[in-house]
Chains A and B, each alone.
Chain A
Amino acid sequence: MRSELLKGLRMLDLTDEKGALCGKMFADMGAEVIKVEPPQGCPSRRIPPFLDDQPGLDNSLHFLAYQAGKRSITLNLESADGRELLKELVKRSDFIVESFAIGYLEAIGLGYDAVAELNPRIVYASITPFGDKGPGKNYKAADMVSWASGGAMFLMGEEGKPPIQMSEPQAWLHAGAEAAVASMIAHYARQSDGVGQHIVVNAQACGVWTLMNEQAMPLLHGDYLRRNSVYTGAIGGRRKTVYQCKDGHISFLLAGGAYFNSSKAVIAWMREEGAAPDWLAEEGGLKTLTPAGFMAASAADLKELDDAEEAIQRFFLGKTKKEMWENILKRRLFGATVANAADIAEDPQLKAREYFVKVDHAGLGREFTLPGAFAKLSETPVGPQGAAPQLGEHDHEIYGGVLGLSNREIVGLRAAGII
């Protein structure tokens, strides 16, 4: 069932991986999202890893995840006929999102100004690595390079080793989601006067927005954060945030302030099980932590915290992830298991909320399970609207149904390499 939220609105998605999530979010909200692909297929069909490690145009996990619920048409923008077809679609659409190199669409007569003449209502979002004004406006950026440019990569990794990215690249997802928000804002604006606009999304800036409070530190405190493995800058600059347990890892932080009760509760748990060393078992042990937090620590304070962390690590090593999680909930610890895909798939909370959604992929003849509704809306539920399309799967539906071309014309365009 198509979501009612954006029903009746149409988006032309001309992006590769750089904007995939934008159209996916719109599809989840009920818009008709037409993925316009070159005849050889969108480059994002070739992003590894692949389903069962079998490369194939339908098998990229990235494509299966982020194109779900979209329609696919093929269209050769390099041909005059292809461009004319796109213009016809533009007249019947509400949104365009694109991620070509700056200037490409202008050069072929499909830049914002040309498109706005055909359809003044259009909301046209351009996703760029570095904006459209600076010396880097024509720079290329693979996901990791974008991640590096915004400051997030510098903070990940161990001192003495290279900075790293997450193994599921993130930069273009932030940029795609930002394009979705900006497009919604522009859509809301045009509802009052019927006029659309051009949006330029800057992926580097999207990366900066993941830095939390670190971005302003150099200006106000005069220094900046270095990557520090599993340690956080709290108290003494080196508090452990990840502990090993019997069958994996746990995130936990020994600290005062908001973490004070949680820290006390872990020590109480250790005492219950006779696992606290004598000095920690005494009432008043670990005197360095206070509900007010902790600003300046003496060498002795830091030694005490280091020793406490060591004792906690020994204690956690005897617990499984499952035991840890049960106690995190029961004792209201600020803690979390370092969950992997299997843990998440089996999480009773997500099951209780019927989060994951199955969709049928007719072309592959299999069912896929996707992350479900990104939010639960009481009157207009959202969520995956179907599987990722095969290349040109909706050529007939769109060229025939939307543009009114006959089957013969469609066959002719195909023979000419236009679609």
Chain B
Amino acid sequence: MSGLPFAGIHVLDFTWYAVGPVTTKYLADYGANVVRIESAARLDGLRLAPPWKDAQPGVDNSQFFASFNTSKRGLALDMSNPRAREIFLKMLPWADVVSESFTPKTLRNWGLDYEKMRAIKPDLIMLSTCMQGQTGPNRDYPGFGNLMAALSGFYYVSGYSEAEPCPPYGAYTDFIAPRFAACALIAALDHRRRTGQGQYIDMAQYEAALHNLAPMLVDYFASGRVLGPTGNRSDRYAPHGAYRCADEDGHERWIAIAVANEDEWQSMMATLGNPAQDTRFATMIGRLRNREALDEYVGALARERNAEELTVAFQAVGVSAYPVQSCMDIHRDENLEAFGFWQWLDHKAMGPSPYEGFEHRMSRTPGSLRAAPALGQHSDEVLSEILGMTATEIEELKREKVIY
């Protein structure tokens, strides 16, 4: 889209599942011309995963896929077919960026690598992202971000005690890596503009994710200490935890509260009408030392209260607090609403529905979301635009199941 920062940047995007698509989504939502190359013979697993429109499975019915692939166009090409690979190589001079997120053996099997592509397009930028990187003994390790979250330490620091981990939800590291990958990719585009030089980016989800546990790793290397899970215990806030409030419409509600110092504690207690309290809670050190009793005490005070009202009251006096929002609550959260976070998009197969929007807002060049492609939705358009193919040629390729 003209006027947006990446207008005129062309991307051939083989990425699938989450890390790659969310990375190239940053480019697409900011105006790059991103052609998502998919194979109907080997579908992106997200197309097969819920939520689906009307809870009905179908390759074009997954909002999971649609949410991670906004603003891209879809070309369905069966890359296991040599003719599809020829088509890809013919499209290559058009591309500024090629991105892929398979295990490394996939591109090897297709006979494609950066060197071969660079011979055709000398200033190409290529991003490969996989679990463990393109080199090393475990490079072909397959898996999802939930497994990587275990391997890179996040499961270990999650839980009430060391007896059993209580992992973070889902493919957690899938939502760390894209921001690192997008920075690398945009910086590489900037570098190319200044120097004319392309490059190859080898991104291991593992190596990006470990940055979110850096203090723990610095500590281990320096002192040999292995930090484990401590529930909601904090060494700097007390109280610090989630406390159950009154249920609402049969739903459990909790409030998260973190009190940093004496002033905040006094303000919090005043807000609650200065109820009687244990002398052990009179000082910060006392509160830190008697966390369990403190949690019980605060829990009892919160139990009959409304989580939202308590939040407003605490925040009014400078105490850090917020309801522990469920996936339902975030859709009626007035702060997300005011930020304009949810955006309605009209998807070809699914029709209008709300999507996660931007986590930031730009004053001058705000991004813009367009609905994700149905499988092969733009095959004809893209091949005609980039390669000048005629309708007859495209029909023939469809008959041969080279494209869909």
Contacts and interface: CB of A to CB of B under 8 A. Distances in A.
A163 interface: yes
A293 interface: yes
Contacts of A146: 322
Interface string A154-172: 1111100111111110100
Contact of B360 (A178, A210, A348): A178
A373 B155 contact: no
B191 interface: yes
A221 B207 contact: no
B207 A375 contact: yes
A122 to B, nearest CB: 12
The winner among A173, A212, A220, A375 for most chain B CB atoms within 10 A is A375
Q: Which of B133, B183, B206 has the most chain A CB atoms inside 10 A of its CB?
A: B183
Interface in B191-213: 191, 193, 197-204, 206-208, 210-213
A136 B336 CA distance: 10
A100 interface: no
Contacts of A338: 150, 155-156, 165
B189 interface: yes
Interface string A31-61: 0000000000000001111011000000001
Nearest to B365: A189
Contacts of A251: 146-147, 150, 155, 167
A143 to B, nearest CB: 8
A75 interface: no
Interface string B176-187: 100111111011
A62 B330 CA distance: 29
A179 interface: yes
Contacts of B176: 173-174, 177
A181 interface: yes
B359 A202 contact: yes
A193 B180 CA distance: 26
Contacts of A150: 325, 330
A287 interface: no
Contact of B137 (A112, A230, A348): A348
Interface in A297-329: 329
B215 A380 contact: no
Nearest to A130: B335
B359 A205 contact: yes
A149 interface: yes
Contact of A355 (B141, B155, B207): B207
Interface string A138-151: 11111111111111
Nearest to B170: A212
A125 B236 CA distance: 27
B221 A29 contact: no
Interface string B17-61: 010000000100010000000000000011011111111010000
* Interface size classification for chain B: 35 or more
Contact of A224 (B152, B190, B328, B356): B328
B215 A216 contact: no
B76 interface: no
B143 to A, nearest CB: 6
A181 to B, nearest CB: 5
A398 B216 CA distance: 31
B315 A166 contact: no
B338 A135 contact: yes
Contacts of A164: 158-160, 166, 231-232, 242
Contacts of B210: 344, 355, 371
A172 to B, nearest CB: 10
- Chain A contact residues: helix, strand, loop or mixed: mixed
B362 A185 contact: yes
Interface in B328-378: 328-331, 333-341, 353-365, 367
A379 to B, nearest CB: 4
A189 B364 contact: yes
A238 B129 CA distance: 31
Contacts of B46: 213
B320 A141 contact: yes
Contacts of A212: 18, 64, 169-171, 174-175
B31 to A, nearest CB: 9
Interface stretch (B80-88, B93-101, B250-258, B382-390): B250-258
A148 B169 CA distance: 13
A217 B198 CA distance: 41
A131 to B, nearest CB: 4
A370 interface: yes
Contacts of B276: none
A47 B215 CA distance: 11
Contacts of A329: 138, 141
B220 interface: yes
B241 interface: yes
A144 B179 contact: no
A133 to B, nearest CB: 4
A339 interface: yes
Contact of B330 (A140, A178, A215, A342): A215
B260 A371 contact: no
Contacts of A219: 51, 331, 353-354
A219 B88 CA distance: 38
A295 to B, nearest CB: 8
Nearest to B173: A210
A268 interface: no
B52 A220 contact: yes
Nearest to B139: A349
Contact of A167 (B197, B228, B319): B228
A229 B166 contact: yes
Contacts of B341: 202, 205, 208
A104 interface: no
Contacts of B55: 220-222
* Residue of B148, B315, B339 with most partner-chain A CB within 10 A: B339
Contacts of A112: 363
23 contacts: A25-B183, A48-B236, A144-B234, A145-B322, A156-B168, A156-B169, A166-B158, A168-B157, A184-B186, A185-B365, A186-B362, A198-B364, A204-B333, A209-B359, A212-B171, A212-B175, A253-B146, A349-B136, A349-B137, A349-B139, A355-B210, A377-B184, A378-B201
Going nearest first, the 4 A-B pairs with the smallest beta carbon separation are A134-B338, A142-B258, A148-B256, A369-B221
Given A185-B362, A377-B184, 20 more contacts: A29-B183, A48-B236, A136-B334, A151-B326, A155-B327, A162-B232, A180-B183, A189-B364, A205-B356, A220-B52, A221-B50, A249-B165, A329-B141, A334-B144, A339-B150, A344-B217, A366-B222, A368-B221, A376-B133, A380-B191
